[in-house]
Structure 1
Amino acid sequence: MRSLLQRLQFYFLYSNITITMHTRRLIAGLLAAALLLACEDRKLPYLGEPETITRTVAGKSIREKSYPSIPAFSFTNQDNRPVTELDFKDKIYIADFFFTTCPTICPVMKKNMLKVYDEVKDNPTVRILSHTIDPEHDTPAVLKTYANDLGVRNATWQFVTGDRGKIYEIGQKHYLITAAEDAKSPGGFLHSGHFVLLDKDRHIRGMYDGTTDEGTYELIRDIRTLLKEYE
């Protein structure tokens, strides 16, 4: 694909042949088509350090890379119902970490996540999973009020609480984000502002700055790209 683009661009820019308007339009159309195909063929990377495993296929040993995935989990959502990894079976999802009384980046993150929610709320194969890092304060009832205030009315966006240690562990060790108590930080907690995109096998396929429009729109674009992998 790159070779085709380079040849067309070289011809268009450097040919000594007189180029008619019709030819210019034809070349422009070919370039646009080539770029569209390149975008359609794009696949997201896998993040995290892979392991090399050996599988036996048809009696032969095959070595391949195995990328880390989010392990089994169990939390409680804003409706006081259990939420586990089984609720995300055959779905891609976006994860983040926050707390409802956060005075700094969380309001910006939730404003941006609402843009993502508006993009995916009618798609049954996409979910959003927001973990509180202040479970003592952020009970299911508090999370329900928070969700209602944001205008979240369906199961697409889950807000979960649970054991503090398990939330911090899954955030730091598996989602690869920062989540911790920190008396020196505003609100008493330290966390990163990343949105994490996961595929149907709970592999991390992208991380985005949830405090910026650029990061948010990049995530929306990559959600569309990831969904195409399953078409």
Structure 2
Amino acid sequence: MIVPGFLYYLLQAKGKNRYKPLPIYGPKQVAKTFHKVRGKVVYDTIYHQVQDFKLYDQDGKLVTRQSLKGKVVVMNFFFTHCPTLCNEISKNVADLAGNYTKNNILKFVSITVDPETDKVPVLKNYAKALKANDGQWKFLTGDTTTIYGLSRNGLLLSAVNGKNNPENYVYSEKLVLLDQERRIRGYYNGTSINEMSKLNDEIKVLIAEELRNIKDNLY
């Protein structure tokens, strides 16, 4: 019997289905605040979060961290004239996004590392070629300081300007999964079918986690 991979994360605890939580990546520090578990003091943890940013999508609309509030986000870097790698990753993302066209919690965000070339009209044509849903998948451009700062300091990935030579661009092939609090919950190789399958599984786990948190906060 073939069992979907995401069931790996589904555990049985006291007769109830519970998901094994995904890890939280990046630097962290112990907070001064605390909560108690069975009478024992447990200090809270401050986790790394992606910083705020201001970029523009394929429709010329401003996109910030606030624009993605309450969303689970899959984010990556690319450039439209990339020889081969970006196209392969973008196709894999397009296939993955097709599984979530009716899901309002999940968003996909692809950020160009070559904003000098990839202006809004270029991104619009690129999105059309991929048949990307504008509401679901954002292609962003803007100033290099914001983009490279977001890559290095926010997503903890490499990105370097190629100085007009596509072969000299340094950027990560990783897709990054972010939760609703803008914390990094996973890294995945966008060229690997196995890694894309894992991402698909862990998106489901994270959405289940977020929905459970929403439910818990109502009571």
Structure-2-length-normalised TM-score = 0.83
The equivalent of 2:21 in structure 1 is 43
The equivalent of 2:128 in structure 1 is 148
8 Å Cα contact 2:32-2:43 kept in structure 1: yes
Percent identity of equivalent pairs: 31
Q: Which runs of 5+ in 2 are unaligned?
A: 1-6, 212-219
The equivalent of 1:176 in structure 2 is 156
Q: Distance in 2 between matches of 1:117 and 1:41?
A: 23
Report which of the two has the higher share of helix.
1
Q: How many residues align?
A: 197
Matched, 1:160 2:134: no
The equivalent of 1:189 in structure 2 is 169
The equivalent of 1:3 in structure 2 is none
Matched, 1:116 2:96: yes
> Residue 116 of structure 1: CA displacement?
1.7
SS at match of 1:46: coil
State the one-letter code of the partner of 1:97. Answer: F
> Residue 78 of structure 1: CA displacement?
0.3
> Residue 153 of structure 1: CA displacement?
2.9
Task: Name the larger-Rg structure.
Answer: 1
Cα distance change on mapping 1:36 and 1:121 into 2, 3 Å: same
Deviations 1:71-102 (A, max 9, x none): 11110000011001111111100000000000
Q: Distance in 1 between matches of 2:59 and 2:164?
A: 32
8 Å Cα contact 2:81-2:166 kept in structure 1: no
Deviations 1:166-195 (A, max 9, x none): 101110111011111245974431111000
Report which of the two has the higher share of strand.
2
> Residue 129 of structure 1: CA displacement?
0.7
Q: Distance in 2 between matches of 1:153 and 1:137?
A: 22
8 Å Cα contact 2:19-2:209 kept in structure 1: no
8 Å Cα contact 1:54-1:62 kept in structure 2: no
Cα distance change on mapping 1:52 and 1:184 into 2, 3 Å: same
Q: Which runs of 5+ in 1 are unaligned?
A: 1-32
8 Å Cα contact 1:52-1:66 kept in structure 2: yes
8 Å Cα contact 1:101-1:187 kept in structure 2: no
Match among 77, 83, 94 for residue 57 of structure 2: 77
State the one-letter code of the partner of 2:11. Answer: L
Q: Distance in 1 between matches of 2:140 and 2:77?
A: 10
SS at match of 1:106: helix
Q: CA RMSD in A?
A: 2.4
Q: Distance in 1 between matches of 2:34 and 2:86?
A: 47
SS at match of 1:230: helix
8 Å Cα contact 1:74-1:84 kept in structure 2: yes
> Residue 150 of structure 1: CA displacement?
0.3
SS at match of 2:210: coil
Q: How does 1:25-36 map to 2 (within 5 A)?
A: none
